[in-house]
């Protein structure tokens, strides 16, 4: 159970009935996986930050509560806007009740440590898809001079002032790249991060930091070079959050299984190159435009094989959507998960809808069936929950999805947006 939600919210469901083609325009809001990191980074300097294109999602509210406990006050002056005021009175403690609710709470570690010289952080939570260690975050910060201690569920770190270091990752971790980068901004000297993650959300964070006065080279490449600056040289800024490529992919998947034509405004084709290539192979007609992507589909998807990889590969967060498309595709597809071995929990739910999916280790074999059959299913995490909604669009009869507080963590009015393009969907 999600402790901070009222019991009624836990019981809410989404009902969806497959009713044929979707038609119209969908606006894609800013990315959860960027805005939460931008918010955490406001710890670095005093003053009022303004963020736009902010999704209206539960995780933003939770991060806002965490930042309020630390000393950054959040207000929402209008739709899609956030103002974050860093009061300068920063408490470098991230309490359990808030940290355990979102994985991105780990992103306060680097900023708090580099700004305050100490931090006490409860171990992070987030989606339930297997162990998510933070050893790379810790090893990198240790290389920069931090000392860590773990006691009573809390991670404690100290460093008078972090110093620059040459760090090479075994694996391009998104969170570790972000934490080390934000820490390095105020470190003494130059930090080089090799094999850094280069997701569009990382680039967004780099651009945010540079506009604040940070010195970062190699943005968008696997080698980031950060030259530390004095705290007094940083300034608060206005920034527009990068669009959410996972939400954009959700509407592409919806159009693929339901058919029709959608103008997905805000989607950045250049952030989704490999996925769009795969979706074209599956039969989607895709046209990048000045404002987004137009997608059309008038046939059953075709099966393909897909493996998840760090960016620019196919993101693991797309995978539940891809498996759902393959569940109703013509042929057999194999999906290989290379990031999170345990991330197949939703397959049991798809099987309840009549999908023919078998998993073994980190592979899934999907034999497409012409149509799924509506049934009650559960959302186990954000992306799996959205995939259940897409599956409902591909099913005959009614699909009822419970556990939708997971969907609310990352999707900004998924139901309303799908209703507006003709889907038979409602929230009860």
Q: Which one of residues 315, 388, 407, 414 is an interface residue with ligand UD1 (CB under 6 A)?
A: 315
Q: Is 205 annotated as a binding residue?
A: no
Q: How many CA atoms lie within 13 A of 181 on its CB side?
A: 38
Q: Is 338 annotated as a binding residue?
A: no
Spatial neighbors of 38 by CB under 8 A, at least 6 apart, are: 51, 204, 205, 208, 239, 241
* Smallest separation (angstroms) from ligand UD1 to the CB of 11: 26
Question: If you compute the radius of gyration of the chain from its CA atoms, what whole number of angstroms results?
Answer: 21
How far apart, in whole angstroms, are the C-alpha atoms of residue 357 and residue 368? 9
Binding mask 127-166 for ligand UD1 (x = CB under 6 A): -----xxxxxx-----------------------------
Q: Which one of residues 96, 148, 154, 340 is an interface residue with ligand UD1 (CB under 6 A)?
A: 340
Question: 154 vs 340, which CB is nearer to ligand UD1?
Answer: 340
Question: 176 vs 262, which CB is nearer to ligand UD1?
Answer: 176
Q: Is 271 in the site for ligand UD1 (CB under 6 A)?
A: no
Q: Is 86 annotated as a binding residue?
A: no
Q: Is 33 in the site for ligand UD1 (CB under 6 A)?
A: yes
Residue 349 corresponds to which tokens in the numbers above? 């739910």
Q: Which stretch binds ligand UD1 (CB under 6 A): 76-84, 126-134, 365-373, 418-426?
A: 126-134
Q: Is 33 annotated as a binding residue?
A: yes
DSSP per-residue letters across 348-416: HHHHHTT-EEEEETTEEEEE--S-EE--EEE--SHHHHHHHHHHHHTEESEEEEE-THHHHHH-SSHHH
Q: Is 389 in the site for ligand UD1 (CB under 6 A)?
A: no
Of the residues 46, 59, 127, 408, only one is catalytic, namely: 127
Strand partners, 140: none
Q: Is 71 helix (H, G, I), strand (E, B) or coil?
A: coil
Alpha-carbon distances, residue 235 vs 44, 188, 209, 212, 214 (angstroms): 9, 18, 10, 5, 10
* Smallest separation (angstroms) from ligand UD1 to the CB of 174: 4
User: Is the distance from CB of 148 to CB of 176 less than 8 angstroms?
Assistant: no
- List of E strands, 195-276: 215-217, 223-227, 238-240, 260-265
Question: 207 vs 317, which CB is nearer to ligand UD1?
Answer: 317
Q: Does the annotation mark 127 as catalytic? A: yes
Report the residue closest to ligand UD1, judged by CB: 175
Q: Which residues are catalytic?
A: 127
Residue list for the binding site: 32-33, 103, 317, 339
Residues that bind ligand UD1 (CB under 6 A): 33, 103-104, 132-137, 171, 173-176, 315-317, 339-340
């Amino acid at each position: 159970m999600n402790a901070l939600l009222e019991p009624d919210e836990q019981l809410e469901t989404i009902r969806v009935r497959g009713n044929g083609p979707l038609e119209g325009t969908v606006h894609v809001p800013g990315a959860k996986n960027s805005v939460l990191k931008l918010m955490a980074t406001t710890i670095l300097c005093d003053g009022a930050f303004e963020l736009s294109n902010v999704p209206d999602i539960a995780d933003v509210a939770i991060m806002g509560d965490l930042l309020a406990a630390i000393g950054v006050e959040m207000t929402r002056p209008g739709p899609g806007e956030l103002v974050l005021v860093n009061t300068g009175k920063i408490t470098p403690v991230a309490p359990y009740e808030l940290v355990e609710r979102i994985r991105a709470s780990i992103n306060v570690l680097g900023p708090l440590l580099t700004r305050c010289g100490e931090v006490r952080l409860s171990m992070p939570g987030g989606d339930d898809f297997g162990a998510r260690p933070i050893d790379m975050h810790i090893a990198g910060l240790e290389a920069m001079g931090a000392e860590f201690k773990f006691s009573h569920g809390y991670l404690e770190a100290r460093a008078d002032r972090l110093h620059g270091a040459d760090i090479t990752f075994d694996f391009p971790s998104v969170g570790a790249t972000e934490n080390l980068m934000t820490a390095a901004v105020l470190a003494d000297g130059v930090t080089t991060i090799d094999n850094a993650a280069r997701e569009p959300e990382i680039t967004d964070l780099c651009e945010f930091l540079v506009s604040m006065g940070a010195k970062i080279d190699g943005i968008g490449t696997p080698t980031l070079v950060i030259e530390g600056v004095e705290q007094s040289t940083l300034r608060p800024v206005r920034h527009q959050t990068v669009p959410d490529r996972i939400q954009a992919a959700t509407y592409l998947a919806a159009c693929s299984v339901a058919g029709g034509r959608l103008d997905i405004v805000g989607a950045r084709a250049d952030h989704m190159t490999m996925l769009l290539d795969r979706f074209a192979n599956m039969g989607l007609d895709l046209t990048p435009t000045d404002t987004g992507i137009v997608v059309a589909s008038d046939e059953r998807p075709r099966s393909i094989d897909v493996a998840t990889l760090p960016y620019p590969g196919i993101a693991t967060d797309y995978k539940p959507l891809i498996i759902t498309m393959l569940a109703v595709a013509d042929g057999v597809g194999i999906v290989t998960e290379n990031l999170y071995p345990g991330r197949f929990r939703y397959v049991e739910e798809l099987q309840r809808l009549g999908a023919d999916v078998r998993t073994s280790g980190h592979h899934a074999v999907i034999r497409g069936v012409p149509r799924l059959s509506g049934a009650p299913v559960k959302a186990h995490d954000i992306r799996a929950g959205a995939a259940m909604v897409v599956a409902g669009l591909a099913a005959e009869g009614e699909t009822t999805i419970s556990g939708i507080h997971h969907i609310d963590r990352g999707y900004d009015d998924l139901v309303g947006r799908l209703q507006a393009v003709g889907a038979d969907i409602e929230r009860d």
